[in-house]
Amino acid sequence: ILNVEQSPQSLHVQEGDSTNFTCSFPSSNFYALHWYRWETAKSPEALFVMTLNGDEKKKGRISATLNTKEGYSYLYIKGSQPEDSATYLCAFISGSARQLTFGSGTQLTVLP
Amino acid sequence: GAGVSQSPSNKVTEKGKDVELRCDPISGHTALYWYRQRLGQGLEFLIYFQGNSAPDKSGLPSDRFSAERTGESVSTLTIQRTQQEDSAVYLCASTELLAASYEQYFGPGTRLTVT
């Protein structure tokens, strides 16, 4: 069983604050790391697909970094807005299985 | 184009009854996954279909759970003799393996409540 952990489990921030959360995963047999955003009553949607150590991806105010050697990825949100409120999931793909192991998610609430 | 669709969107059933959940993946996506999320928990992998290969059933929690896929199209997840602990949101996702990224395209889910 692969251990993929996310922290914190939940987070409340004020509109305009910047925030970040962590995904930790096994540092061996790495293939890819995904970040998804899951808004209430909607389907999870991919934010980033990360495959290389040192990868940095950015989409608008959201960015992510990847360290495969130590087994962690950070997701950053700059200037949080209420519409950023969602559960953010990371998923680890190992080189052998090609199945995704999801973390339990970080539930972000941005207060206006 | 059309995304992943699932039906029904909600299902309430009595303990002990069988249920069948359906997933229509994106056309051309060779891989299909089933997951579930029980209350307060993360996404739990159930089963993975890849083309004509034997499915990876390693995530199915018991022999009451089974899934079928017709070629590279529709999949059904069947839960026999449902139990209250089967209550969850069941998500289906498809992916284009040639893209090599395994990016998941999720359906809207089926919320199953076992009373």
Nearest to B69 by CA among B49, B53, B47: B49
Q: Please report residues of A whose CB lies closer than 8 A to that of B4.
A: 43
Q: Flag residues of chain B having pLDDT under 50.
A: none
Q: Please report residues of B whose CB lies closer than 8 A to that of A46.
A: 103-105
pLDDT of residue A102 exceeding 60, the answer is: yes
Chain B closest-CA separation from residue A44 CA (Å): 6
Instruction: Quote the pLDDT of residue A15.
Output: 97
Instruction: Quote the pLDDT of residue B39.
Output: 86
Q: Which of A39, A87, A98 to mutate to test the interface with B (most CBs of B within 10 A)?
A: A98
In tens, the pLDDT along A41-79 reads 888 999 999 999 999 999 999 999 999 999 999 999 999
Helix or strand or coil: residue A82?
Answer: helix
CA angle B105, B108, B113 (to 5 degrees): 135
For tokens 């139990």, what's the residue?
A: B83
pLDDT of residue A95 exceeding 90, the answer is: no
Chain B closest-CA separation from residue A103 CA (Å): 6
What's the CA gap between A13 and B95, in Å, rounded?
34
In tens, the pLDDT along B76-89 reads 999 999 999 999 99
* Residue with more model confidence, B112 or A100: B112
What's the CA gap between B51 and A81, in Å, rounded?
41
Instruction: Quote the pLDDT of residue A97.
Output: 66
Pull the structure tokens for residue B35: 């997951």
Phi and psi angles of residue B89, each rounded to the nearest 5 degrees, phi first: -95, 125
Contact between B72 and B29 under an 8 Å Cβ cutoff? The reply is yes
Instruction: Quote the pLDDT of residue B102.
Output: 83
Instruction: Quote the pLDDT of residue A42.
Output: 87
pLDDT of residue A81 exceeding 70, the answer is: yes
